[in-house]
C-alpha cells in the first residue's frame, strides 16, 4: 500500500470537522473529491464515524457526576492521609524494630555472660522472695526465667509489630 | 474545578468518552468501569492549563492509558491480538445501531486501528493531539491512520454494495 497525501486533504478535513461539507465547500473541492480516492475515503470514513458518534452519544447512559465528585474527594482525602501518616508509620515501625532488636541483644548478651547482673541483684533481694519462684534460687533457674521472659517480651513485641503492619495494610 | 463546573464538564464530555471506550474496547461494561476510573483520576490529578479543550484531551489520555493497562494485564488479550469479531459481538451498542454500516466494518478492524480512527474521525483530533493521547509518534500515527482509513473505506464500500444488492 502506497502512502500518498493530497493537497486538498487538510482543507477537506477542516470542512468535515466543522460540518461544512458539502454545502459550505466550493465547487473545486467537490469536484476534486469525486475524482480523488484519498479524499473520497476521508469523506466516507469521517461522515460515518461522526454519525456513529452521534448515535452512541444519544444511547450512552452516563452516571451521576456528583457521585464521581464525592468519590474523587474521598480518594484525594485518603491519599492525603496516607501521605501524612507515612512518616509516622515508618518511625513507628523503626521504633518497634529497634525495641525488638535491643530486646534480642539484651537477652542474648545476658545469656552468654552468665547473667552476672542477676546474681548481683539477687544479693539485694531477700532470699525468701526466691522461694516463691518454682525454679528455686539457683543460677540455672534464673537463666531459665530470664530466657522465658525475654522470649515472651520478644513474642509480644513481634505480635505487636505484625498487628500494626497488618492494620496498616 | 468545583462541583458545578465538573458536573457541566461531565455532561459535555462523558457521552463522547463512553462512545470512544465502547467502540475501542468492544465491551460496554468495561467501558463504564474505565470511564468512571478516568474521571476519578482526572479529578485527583493536577490538570493541565488551557480550559476544557485541554481537559478533554487529558481525559482521553487517561482513558487510553487505562485501556492499554487493561490490555497489558495478565489474562487480558493484547491490543493487537484481540479478535475483532469477539469484541464486536460483545458490544452492547450493536443492538442500537446494528443497521448502521459502520458496525460490520469496525468488527474487522484491529482495536488500535479503531482507536486511531475514532480519535481522528469521530473526535476530530489532529495527529499531534492523537500522539499526545496515545503516546505514539505523530509520523507513525499518520501512516497507521492512512492504512486504517483505506482499509475501513474499502470495507464500508463493500458493505454499501452488499446493502444495495440486498435491497
Look-up: residue for cell 473541492? A29
Chain A to chain B, count of Cβ pairs less than 8 Å apart? 107
Closest CA to A52 of B108, B104, B54, B35: B104
Q: Same domain, yes or no, for A54 and A90?
A: no
In this predicted structure, what is the pLDDT of residue B117? 92
Å from B132 to nearest chain A CA? 19
DSSP letter at A8 equals T
Å from A150 to nearest chain B CA? 47
Q: How far is CA A59 from CA A15, A78, B88, B93, in A?
A: 26, 35, 17, 8
In this predicted structure, what is the pLDDT of residue A131? 52
Question: CB-based contact (8 Å) between A101 and chain B?
Answer: no
Q: What is the CATH number of the domain that holds B49?
A: 1.20.140.160
**Residues in A touching B7 (Cβ below 8 Å):** 65-66, 69
Q: Same domain, yes or no, for A102 and A149?
A: yes
Question: CB-based contact (8 Å) between A45 and chain B?
Answer: yes
In this predicted structure, what is the pLDDT of residue A113? 66
User: In percent, how much of chain A has pLDDT > 90?
Assistant: 5
- The whole domain housing A158 covers 85-168
> With an 8 Å Cβ cutoff, are B19 and A60 in contact?
yes
- Residues B106 and B23: beta-carbon distance below 8 Å: yes
In this predicted structure, what is the pLDDT of residue A18? 84
- Mean pLDDT in residue range B111-127: 90
Contacts of B19 (CB under 8 A, 6+ apart): A52, A53, A56, A57, A60, B118, B122
> With an 8 Å Cβ cutoff, are B121 and A46 in contact?
yes
- The whole domain housing B137 covers 3-166
Is the predicted pLDDT of residue B79 greater than 60, yes or no?
no
- Mean pLDDT in residue range B20-36: 87
CA distance linking residue B4 with residue B6, whole number of Å: 5
User: In percent, how much of chain B has pLDDT > 70?
Assistant: 83
Q: Same domain, yes or no, for A47 and A108?
A: no
| Count of structural domains, chain B | 1
Residue B31, number of CB atoms within 10 A of its CB: 25
B9 or B166: which carries more pLDDT confidence?
B9
| Count of structural domains, chain A | 2
Q: How far is CA B59 from CA A139, A145, B20, B38, B62, in A?
A: 74, 66, 12, 7, 5
Q: How far is CA A64 from CA B5, B31, B46, B55, B138, in A?
A: 14, 16, 22, 19, 36
Q: Same domain, yes or no, for A51 and A94?
A: no
Domain assignment present for A135: yes
- pLDDT tens for residues A101-160? 888 887 777 777 665 655 655 665 555 555 545 554 555 566 677 777 777 777 777 777
**Residues in A touching B59 (Cβ below 8 Å):** none
C-alpha R_g of chain B:
16
Is the predicted pLDDT of residue B142 greater than 80, yes or no?
yes
In this predicted structure, what is the pLDDT of residue A33? 87
A138 or B119: which carries more pLDDT confidence?
B119
Question: CB-based contact (8 Å) between A42 and chain B?
Answer: yes
Q: Same domain, yes or no, for A113 and A151?
A: yes
Residue B79, number of CB atoms within 10 A of its CB: 18
Closest CA to B60 of B133, B163, B117, B114: B133
Q: Same domain, yes or no, for A100 and A148?
A: yes
Closest residue in chain A to residue B22, using alpha carbons only: A56
Residues 37-66 of B with CB under 8 A from A: 39-40, 43-44
**Residues in B touching A54 (Cβ below 8 Å):** none
In this predicted structure, what is the pLDDT of residue B59? 93
> With an 8 Å Cβ cutoff, are A60 and B96 in contact?
no
Residue B4, number of CB atoms within 10 A of its CB: 11
Question: CB-based contact (8 Å) between B138 and chain A?
Answer: no
In this predicted structure, what is the pLDDT of residue B58? 93
In this predicted structure, what is the pLDDT of residue B9? 92
Listed ranges A53-57, B66-70, B159-163; the one with the highest mean pLDDT: B66-70
In this predicted structure, what is the pLDDT of residue B92? 41
B62 or A130: which carries more pLDDT confidence?
B62
Question: CB-based contact (8 Å) between A69 and chain B?
Answer: yes
Å from A53 to nearest chain B CA? 6
pLDDT averaged over every residue in chain B = 81
- B89 confidence band (pLDDT: 50, 70, 90): very low
Q: Is-above-0.80 flag for pTM? A: no
Domain assignment present for A66: no
CA distance linking residue A67 with residue A161, whole number of Å: 38
Residue B16, all three cell numbers: 463522547
A96 or B35: which carries more pLDDT confidence?
B35
Amino acid at each position: 500500500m502506497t502512502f500518498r497525501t493530497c493537497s486538498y486533504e487538510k482543507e477537506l478535513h477542516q470542512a468535515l470537522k466543522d460540518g461544512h461539507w458539502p454545502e459550505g465547500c466550493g465547487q473545486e473541492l467537490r469536484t476534486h473529491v469525486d475524482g480523488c480516492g484519498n479524499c473520497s475515503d476521508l469523506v466516507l470514513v469521517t461522515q460515518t464515524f461522526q454519525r456513529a458518534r452521534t448515535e452512541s452519544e444519544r444511547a450512552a447512559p452516563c452516571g451521576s457526576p456528583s457521585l464521581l465528585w464525592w468519590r474523587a474527594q474521598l480518594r484525594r482525602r485518603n491519599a492525603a492521609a496516607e501521605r501524612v501518616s507515612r512518616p509516622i508509620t515508618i518511625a513507628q515501625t523503626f521504633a518497634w524494630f529497634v525495641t525488638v532488636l535491643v530486646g534480642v541483644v539484651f537477652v542474648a548478651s545476658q545469656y552468654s555472660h552468665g547473667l552476672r547482673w542477676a546474681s548481683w541483684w539477687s544479693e539485694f533481694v531477700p532470699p525468701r522472695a526466691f522461694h516463691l519462684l518454682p525454679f528455686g534460687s539457683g543460677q540455672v533457674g534464673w537463666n531459665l526465667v530470664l530466657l522465658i521472659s525475654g522470649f515472651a517480651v520478644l513474642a509480644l513485641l513481634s505480635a505487636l509489630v505484625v498487628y500494626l503492619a497488618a492494620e496498616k495494610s | 474545578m468545583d462541583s458545578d463546573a465538573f458536573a457541566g464538564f461531565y455532561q459535555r464530555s462523558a457521552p463522547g468518552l463512553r462512545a470512544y471506550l465502547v467502540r475501542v474496547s468492544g465491551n460496554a461494561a468495561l467501558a463504564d468501569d474505565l470511564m468512571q476510573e478516568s474521571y476519578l483520576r482526572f479529578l485527583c490529578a493536577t490538570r493541565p492549563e488551557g480550559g476544557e479543550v485541554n481537559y478533554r484531551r487529558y481525559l482521553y489520555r487517561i482513558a487510553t492509558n487505562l485501556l492499554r493497562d487493561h490490555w497489558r494485564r495478565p489474562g487480558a488479550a493484547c491490543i493487537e491480538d484481540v479478535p475483532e469479531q469477539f469484541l464486536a459481538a460483545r458490544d452492547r451498542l450493536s443492538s442500537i445501531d446494528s443497521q448502521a454500516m459502520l458496525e460490520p466494518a469496525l468488527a474487522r478492524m484491529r482495536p488500535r486501528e479503531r482507536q486511531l480512527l475514532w480519535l481522528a474521525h469521530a473526535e476530530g483530533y489532529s495527529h499531534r493531539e492523537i500522539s499526545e493521547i496515545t503516546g505514539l509518534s505523530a509520523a507513525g500515527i499518520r501512516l497507521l491512520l492512512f492504512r486504517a482509513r483505506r482499509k475501513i473505506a474499502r470495507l464500508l464500500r463493500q458493505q454499501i454494495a452488499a446493502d444495495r444488492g440486498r435491497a
